Structure 1
Amino acid sequence: MYRKNRTGKKLRMLTAGLLILLLADVAAVPAFADQQPSPKDEVVYADLGGDGHMEQIYVVNIFEGQKSILDYGTYERVRNMTSTDKIREKGDQLLIDTDQEMLYYQGNLKKGSLPWNIALKYTLDGREISPKELAGKNGEMKLEIAISENPQAEKSFFNQYALQITAAFPTDKCENIRAQGATEANAGANKQLTWTLLPGTEKTLQVETEVKDFEMESISFNGIQLNMDVDVDSSEMTKKFGQLSAAVKAIDHGAKAMDKGAGELKSGAKKLKKGSDDLENNVKTISKQVKQAGKLGSASSEIKGAVSALDQGVEKIKSSVSYDAYKKVMAENGLNIDQLKQQNAQMLELLNQLKVQAGMLNEPQKSQYLAQISQGQKLIQGNIAAIQATETYLNSTAAGITEAQNGAAALAENYQTFDQQLQGAVNQLKELDLSQISKLTQGAEALSDGTGKLKSGSSALAQGTASLTSKTSGISGQVEEQINDMLEGIRRTDGEVTSFVSEKNTNVRSVQFVIKNGPIELPDKEPPAESPVQKQSWWQKLLSLFGID
């Protein structure tokens, strides 16, 4: 019996030796020279220091449904995260033969530059403080997060990838949290702040809060290429702006007519003044000059009509250009803007809850679900940004038109008073008492001065309406172009995805960035003792597969 056991043990050792030789022969098989880089996804992970400087960067490469994998990259070390299949390295070339449906391997880069420069600055009661010193402190804390383009990195990532920044502040340690431009959500015991920077955006974000025994989790920075297939029907909006352009042209036409009438009025007033001056020397010529007063009255009536038309035209424009009018048009087309904003907020809250639940999963499902949830958040954030930009633009336009309406109304009211005075002066001239020639001369002089000022004002108005006409000409196309430019940064990008690791990887389906800084926390007073673990060598693990001690 003893001999039989010894014989069985020798047989198992011999089998293990043969297996080792077989594995060595397989590992010695050379790479296929003509093989193309394998399709893959890249997830770039980076750890930041307290002030935002990069400490380490590594990439998880994901392959699906491939038996013979060829990849490129210059790594300090690599690790198969899925199986025991060996990763063969030859220069920057990596080869893996596997029977796994999904294979993940991690590569720690020798060098690499993130698309974004990230700088974190903390101040406590107005004094700059390091994150390590800030742990456990009390006072008024301010955090600045500066995001800018890294000129050392591949430009396509900064120009094509959105960056989402998420910071969670514990509500039991932070009060009166203030963060302009951030989306706020309650996530468990934290107040979660989220900012979304569209591609090509540089910005400094700020958070102010009152802290007590301060600690907080890591701040996450997630970069992803937006794939939002957004299609906006702007025909109704551009139609309204077309009406605005036509109305402005009509106003410009009326202003030019008014300026022309003011010029004639000024000319007539000058002639009247000259006549009144000559009247004292030659009373016989008075009847000719009185006729000029009749022309002055007619010209003033024409100007009064043009001013009234100007006021009415501005009123029509105001009724058709506003954010409320825009919401009404969208509602007539089946889209309730206020309801959409409420649904966006509800969806963000739901995604945040899902994100908390996904964080409890194990890898790789955790990374996959978090990436999908992050993409959903970008979609909602892009929708919210489009609604807010449209509201701001229309409100500012409506405010400008309101100012124009107030000015036109004031002009109409003042000119009506002026016209009444002018018509009264003309009537007085018609019933002129030649014995009052000196008074007539004084009145004509005052009238000449007034019409001179009116001509200056009408000329300025004509220049303003001409400029307004020039700026609003083709405004429908300009608005549509601005809408398209605003959405360009969040529309689907059909260009080739660039590998972060190596330009030789020409078949990359997606690249995602997952960046975190270290948490702010107090060190453990008494770290738990760790029981020593006896590690087995690769040879011992192989022998254990055959039951050999």
Structure 2
Amino acid sequence: MRIKRFLLLVIVCIVALSPFNVVAASAAAPKDEVVYATLQPNGEELNMHVVNSFEVEEQQELVDYGDYTNVKNLTDLSEITKEGDEISFTASEDTFYYQGDLENKPLPWDFAIRYQLDGEEVNPEELLGQEGHLQIEIETSANEDVNPIFFENYLLQISLSLDGELYQNIEAEQGTIANAGKNKQVTFTVMPEKEGDFLLEADVTDFELAGIEISAVPSSMSIDSPDTDNVTEDFETLSDATAEIDEAVGELADGISELNNGVSSLKNGSSDYQDGMTQISNGSTDLISGSKSIDQALVTMKNSIDQDVETGDFSALQDGLVQIADGLREASNGLAELEDNYTKAYNVLNESMNAIPSYDISEDEIKELTQSGADSEVVNKLVETYKAARTAKGTYDQVSKAFAAVAPTLDEVSNSQTDMASSLETMADQIAAASEGMDIQEGLKELQEGLATLSDNYQEFHSGLEEYTNGVDELSNAYQDLHNGIVELEDGTTALEDGASELHDGTTELADSTSDLPDQMQDEIDEMINDYDKSDFDAESFVSDKNENVQSVQFVIKTESITQDEEDDEEEETEEEKSFWDRLLDLFR
């Protein structure tokens, strides 16, 4: 007992004899605030106190402000006076600490913590000792009733320490998981001006949870702009490449437009050719019918010559020959006109077909075009049109000889009919001359032989004419399929031209939007850096706006632990918070 009294006397003497240089009261001494807050496990606020510290070079009287319910000197035994929200005290040299307790003072953030076990929400006080699949959801948001400077400039770090023997299969998609001895440390970060919504999942046995720790500090670090020269060079390359693509697609669109114009001409020429072939096919029946009539007339004439000789009247024979000759000439003129129309249609078709390019595009080239970034739908149309054009040109090349042979055949048939008409007219004239001279026997005999030869030859000609007309009918029917293909080709090239035009519009827009891409990227980087660069932040007091020269304000927030020995933990924490003077005074109690 005497020892304790002696030590107390020594301390009092030291304090009494120390030289003090008291200066005028000042509210401008540099000050730091550390706000300690305790939350319930669900995030609701329980209590709060603030540790204020002042940096002084010599002893002086200071005034601070805060609506505290209680204040405590954490530095020495000097008295602290509280009148309303004004706190006055004498600060010794170096750093002076005092604590103030706050009631009903809201934090700048609202915290909501929810717990689920096996998919069902559970009150945290009911979780102790439970087991199952645990989910802890932590939400943070701005408290609209508090100065927004803290929400806008402070970085939140939320940490959970999980016992490795109780927690397995820990997952935290938006957090980081680290080893801390036998425990797992799960940390979530909330950037300034952002709200947080985090989920932690784990399988737990014999549930216990240490208090969730939340620290809030100014995000005052200065962020230097990164070296983006290499990146901007890459974007310049991209910008140049898109411009080249746009130019190439423009040339492609022009080429496809020319192709479509050529295919349209091909379609028109094919339509004219098909009409000519249809006319030839439709005229084949009349041509065969007329030729059959001529053949029958020649047979009739040959059989009736004897009767005409007996009667001596050759006028009917003469008239028949003239009529047959007129029929042959009329048929010859029709074939000549038909041959002229066919030749015109064929020339248009041949010119259009030859206008289709004979490019041989390989599969590798098609694959390269597909992978170039061009619109895949337009590329597919282009490939289909290319294949259709190749097919049409190949088909035409195979049948072009048959097309080319039609006109010469028509010309040959027409000339043959003209020759036969001339022969019949000559025969009619000879019959008339022979009849006038009455010396007809020898002429008649020659006529009989000539008619027999003419009839036999004409039957062969008629058979050949039937084969020719049958071939024309088959050619006309087959050409219908080719013409349909040309029509589909024209539809495809029209759609392709429209698609290529849209593609060119898109590449032009892309080229325009990427032309200043490097500058845009640099602006975006600068804007992003400005969003997170809080180096120009000036601290403000959390306790009272009357406090000046505040250097920093920090928040240390912790939820109550959910453990079996929670009370013991609280006592240990209280013990740890005692200052040197508190522990020294305990010796005398």
Q: Is TM-score (shorter-chain normalized) higher than 0.5?
A: yes
Aligned positions, number: 413
Counterpart residue number, 1:234: 228
Q: 1:215 to 1:176 in 2, by over 3 A?
A: same
User: What residue identity is the alignment partner of 2:207?
Assistant: F
Q: Distance in 2 between matches of 1:217 and 1:524?
A: 9
Counterpart residue number, 2:316: none
Aligned counterparts, 1:112-511, within 5 A: 112-231=105-224, 232-279=226-273, 280-281=275-276, 282-283=341-342, 284-297=344-357, 311=368, 404=373, 415=382, 418-419=385-386, 421-423=388-390, 425-426=392-393, 429=396, 432=400, 433-434=402-403, 436=475, 438-439=479-480, 440-511=482-553
Q: Is the 8 A contact 1:311 1:412 kept in 2?
A: no
Secondary structure of the 1:75 match is: coil
CA apart distance, 1:454: 1.8
Q: In structure 1, which of residues 62, 74, 89 is the aligned counterpart of residue 53 of structure 2?
A: 62
CA apart distance, 1:167: 0.3
User: What residue identity is the alignment partner of 1:512?
Assistant: Q
Q: Distance in 2 between matches of 1:154 and 1:508?
A: 15
Q: 1:449 to 1:525 in 2, by over 3 A?
A: closer
Counterpart residue number, 1:46: 37
Aligned-pair Cα RMSD in Å: 3.7
CA apart distance, 1:247: 0.5
Q: Distance in 1 between matches of 2:111 and 2:354?
A: 76
Q: Is the 8 A contact 2:39 2:45 kept in 1?
A: yes
Determine whether 1:88 maps to 2:81.
Answer: yes
Q: Is the 8 A contact 1:31 1:95 kept in 2?
A: no
CA apart distance, 1:418: 4.8
Q: Is the 8 A contact 1:62 1:105 kept in 2?
A: yes
Q: Distance in 1 between matches of 2:355 and 2:227?
A: 53
User: What residue identity is the alignment partner of 1:153?
Assistant: V
Q: Is the 8 A contact 2:29 2:56 kept in 1?
A: no
User: What residue identity is the alignment partner of 2:140?
Assistant: I
Counterpart residue number, 2:68: 75
Per-residue deviation, residues 373-421 of structure 1 (Å, max 9, x unmatched): xxxxxxxxxxxxxxxxxxxxxxxxxxxxxxx38x66x977985675365
Q: Is the 8 A contact 2:253 2:500 kept in 1?
A: yes
Q: Is the 8 A contact 1:61 1:105 kept in 2?
A: yes
Q: Is the 8 A contact 2:541 2:548 kept in 1?
A: yes
**Larger Rg, first or second structure (1 or 2):** 2
Per-residue deviation, residues 259-281 of structure 1 (Å, max 9, x unmatched): 23222322322222122112224
Q: Distance in 1 between matches of 2:66 and 2:380?
A: 77
Secondary structure of the 2:537 match is: coil
Secondary structure of the 2:357 match is: helix
Q: Distance in 1 between matches of 2:371 and 2:54?
A: 63
- Extract structure 1 runs of 4+ deviating beyond 6 A: 312-315, 410-414, 524-527
Counterpart residue number, 1:109: 102
Q: Is the 8 A contact 2:269 2:352 kept in 1?
A: no
Counterpart residue number, 2:581: none
Q: Distance in 1 between matches of 2:557 and 2:567?
A: 29
Q: Is the 8 A contact 2:212 2:559 kept in 1?
A: yes
CA apart distance, 1:479: 2.2
Per-residue deviation, residues 315-374 of structure 1 (Å, max 9, x unmatched): 6xxxxxxxxxxxxxxxxxxxxxxxxxxxxxxxxxxxxxxxxxxxxxxxxxxxxxxxxxxx
CA apart distance, 1:460: 3.6
Counterpart residue number, 2:562: 520
CA apart distance, 1:223: 0.7
Q: Distance in 1 between matches of 2:564 and 2:253?
A: 76
Q: Distance in 2 between matches of 1:472 and 1:123?
A: 49
Secondary structure of the 2:497 match is: helix
Q: Provide structure 1 residue ranges, at least 5 long, that are not aligned to the other structure.
A: 1-11, 20-25, 316-403, 530-543
Indicate the larger mover: 466-475 or 411-420: 411-420
CA apart distance, 1:474: 1.9
- Greater share of helix residues, 1 or 2? 2
Q: Is the 8 A contact 1:37 1:504 kept in 2?
A: no
Q: Distance in 2 between matches of 1:444 and 1:413?
A: 19
Q: 1:79 to 1:314 in 2, by over 3 A?
A: farther
User: What residue identity is the alignment partner of 2:166?
Assistant: K
Q: Percent identity?
A: 33
Secondary structure of the 1:297 match is: coil
Q: Is the 8 A contact 2:539 2:550 kept in 1?
A: yes
User: What residue identity is the alignment partner of 1:419?
Assistant: Y
Q: Distance in 2 between matches of 1:449 and 1:126?
A: 60
CA apart distance, 1:230: 2.8
Counterpart residue number, 2:579: none
